[in-house]
């Protein structure tokens, strides 16, 4: 007689490691009708219910174990995805801080170019006015008034021995740059312009009013003190401001390029963050499904065992009410 034709009580039970993937041998567990028949046959015969209950338990335990192993693997993937998400978010914050710094750097750099340009125009106008006044005063009395006016103006208005002006710098800074005696600096800055003014007034005086000569001398002296030296100082500052403006424009272009690259990088990171977040949600859903399925198998195992035991108990109760002859027939059927 083949195995499937043997009485239920004499069927061999498969080891637990062989249960998975061999559901065809355990249709009596999966099929309620067969499970009921199995319970009835075991109840009517001398079969041990514990053996069948253990088989049902092991059958679903193996399935539950596989699902829980998969859920554990998914948990590890969830942890890795979570770490990747945190790393991406941290990188996004860093890149956004870098972007903000770049935008602030592009807006806050000042060069002072406009102010120095206005100063340069003003001092240039003052220099031209000074030269025109001096030339107009000397022209009627000199054979070569233009050359003499240029020489006197350069001597009286511009510094001869120092690169900067004592009047346009703090005393400490000027002395540090020019380690010369103080009286020499004062002589060059104050006395030389006075000598040039006296030369112009005396040489060009031709009976004009004394008040007019004094007023012109005072004006020329003030212009000598501030216009020429101020022009030289302003030219130096304007050159620095112009270079700073060029650097600012170059830096602005570089910053603009870096801002574009930074925004592109942030967009890519945000896209990666969204992808990782979606993947993380999928993994969590997968884990929940596996755990739910494992829980369902546990409930199914308990349900199957309870169903088997109910049929077994009913059959065993009915067996106790059978006559001796009927029990003999059941025993004969079992041996057959």
Query: Are 274 and 88 within 8 A, CB to CB?
Result: no
Query: Are 35 and 8 within 8 A, CB to CB?
Result: no
pTM of the model: 0.51
Instruction: Region of 103 please: left (phi>0), alpha (psi -120 to 50) or beta.
Output: alpha
The Cα–Cα gap between 71 and 287 comes to 5
Find which of 104-108, 220-224, 284-288 is predicted with most confidence, using mean pLDDT. Answer: 284-288
Note the pLDDT of residue 139.
Answer: 77
Note the pLDDT of residue 52.
Answer: 84
List pLDDT tens digits, range 180-204.
566 666 667 777 788 777 877 777 7
List pLDDT tens digits, range 13-54.
444 444 444 556 778 888 888 888 888 888 777 777 888 888
Rounded mean pLDDT of 140-160?
Answer: 73
Note the pLDDT of residue 80.
Answer: 92
Instruction: Region of 162 please: left (phi>0), alpha (psi -120 to 50) or beta.
Output: beta
Report how far apart the first and last C-alpha atoms of the chain are (Å, whole number). Answer: 10
pLDDT tops 60 at residue 107: no
The Cα–Cα gap between 223 and 221 comes to 5
């Amino acid at each position: 007689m083949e195995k499937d034709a043997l009485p239920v009580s004499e069927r061999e039970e498969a080891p637990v490691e062989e249960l998975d993937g061999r559901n065809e041998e355990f249709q009596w567990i999966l099929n309620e009708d067969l499970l009921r028949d199995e319970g009835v046959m075991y109840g009517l015969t001398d079969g041990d219910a514990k053996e069948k209950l253990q088989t049902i338990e092991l059958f679903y335990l193996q399935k539950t174990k596989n699902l829980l192993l998969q859920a554990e693997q998914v948990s590890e993937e969830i942890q890795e995805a979570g770490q990747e998400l945190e790393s991406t978010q941290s990188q996004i914050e860093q890149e956004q801080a870098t972007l903000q710094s770049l935008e602030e750097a592009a807006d806050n750099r000042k060069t002072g170019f406009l102010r120095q340009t206005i100063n340069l125009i003003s001092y240039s106008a003052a220099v031209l006015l000074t030269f025109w006044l001096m030339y107009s005063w000397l022209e009627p009395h000199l054979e070569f008034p233009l050359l003499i006016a240029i020489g006197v103006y350069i001597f009286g208005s511009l510094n001869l021995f120092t690169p900067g002006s004592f009047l346009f710098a703090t005393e400490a800074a000027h002395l540090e740059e020019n380690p010369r005696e103080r009286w020499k600096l004062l002589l060059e800055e104050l006395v030389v312009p006075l000598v040039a003014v006296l030369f112009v007034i005396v040489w060009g005086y031709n009976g004009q009013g004394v008040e007019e000569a004094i007023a012109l001398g005072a004006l020329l002296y003030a212009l000598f003190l501030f216009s020429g030296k101020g022009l030289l100082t302003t030219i130096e500052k304007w050159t620095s401001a112009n270079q700073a403006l060029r650097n600012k424009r170059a830096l602005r272009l570089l910053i603009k390029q870096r801002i574009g690259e930074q925004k592109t990088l942030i967009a890519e990171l945000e896209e990666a963050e969204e992808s990782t977040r979606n993947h993380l949600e999928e993994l969590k859903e997968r884990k929940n499904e596996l755990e739910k399925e494992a829980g369902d198998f546990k409930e199914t195992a308990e349900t199957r065992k309870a169903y088997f035991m109910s049929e077994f108990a009913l059959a065993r109760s009915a067996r106790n009410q059978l006559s001796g002859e009927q029990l003999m027939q059941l025993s004969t059927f079992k041996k057959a």
